[in-house]
Amino acid sequence: MRAGGTEGKSRAKSDLGVRLVSAIVMVAIAGTALAMGGWPLEIFVFLVGGGLIIEMVGLVRRFDMDSAGKALWVAGGLVYICAACASLLAMPGTVRWLIILMVIATDTGAYFAGRRFGGRKIAPAISPSKTWAGLYGGMTGATLVMVGALFLILNALAAWGADGRSALDLMMERPVVIVVVIGIGCAVAVLAQAGDFLESWMKRRAGVKDSGKLIPGHGGLFDRVDGLLPVAIATGLMLWATAA
């Protein structure tokens, strides 16, 4: 028993190390592409989008349905992935960074709140690990990022105005803005979780644990950006509607 326990701990530590290294590499590559923008970002998004399509088709091929049904799923998946990639490339860089940080904060908040509080599951038949506490944690994380962004903007406005008012003063003068910011944070978290549920449902229907094996310790690309896809699409549509 002792030897088995030691072996299990060693394997867990080994997996953690692999996951950590993979995460550092992912952040370095994605961060560099996002920071550079232009053609490096376009190539990066094109490659990621291509990988997502390959993984999506691989999942659909495992579905227990006829060829016509699979063809519809593939067509819908192509629209879904291509729309998200196009939206990411079309939006301003600051907005792109903001939604990515919000999705990361959603995942982080959901993970820690879910582990800390547990509680009732949202949809155990689709994703047994997702709880309502995790969703609320994700909402909190995304909202904190939005509030932080608002504070930075107001701080710049306060410095530019030079009338003695602080960023906090400006924030308190416009409570409706705070309400809108909280609403956006919660909406982003819900969308990100919806994207996570969609991929979880697809994997469950395909009978697999991960969408792929490209990223050691993390699974596939779909496993990493499932929450970003619907958020990118919704943000792109909102920007398009605002500009129209």
pLDDT tens track for 70-98: 999 999 999 999 999 999 999 999 999 99
Q: And the tokens for 117? A: 């509080």
* Average pLDDT of the chain to the nearest whole number: 85
Q: Find where tokens 């979780």 sit.
A: 193
Among 16-20, 129-133, 183-187, 205-209, which is the least confidently predicted range?
16-20
pLDDT-derived band at 48, boundaries 50, 70, 90: very high
Tell whether the model's pLDDT for residue 101 goes beyond 60.
yes
Per-residue model confidence (pLDDT) at position 5: 46
| Rounded average pLDDT over 200-208 | 92
pTM score: 0.85
pLDDT exceeding 70 applies to what percent of the chain?
84
Closest CA to 100 of 45, 55, 57: 45
- Taking the alpha carbons at both ends of the chain, their separation in whole angstroms is 67
Select from 142, 92, 133, 141 the least CA-distant residue to 115.
133
User: What would the mean pLDDT of 47-58 be, rounded to a whole number?
Assistant: 94
Q: Residue 126: pLDDT band by 50, 70, 90 thresholds?
A: confident
Q: Is the pLDDT of residue 44 over 50?
A: yes
The whole-number pLDDT of residue 160 equals 67
169 band by pLDDT with thresholds 50, 70 and 90: low
The H helix count followed by the E strand count for the chain is 9, 0
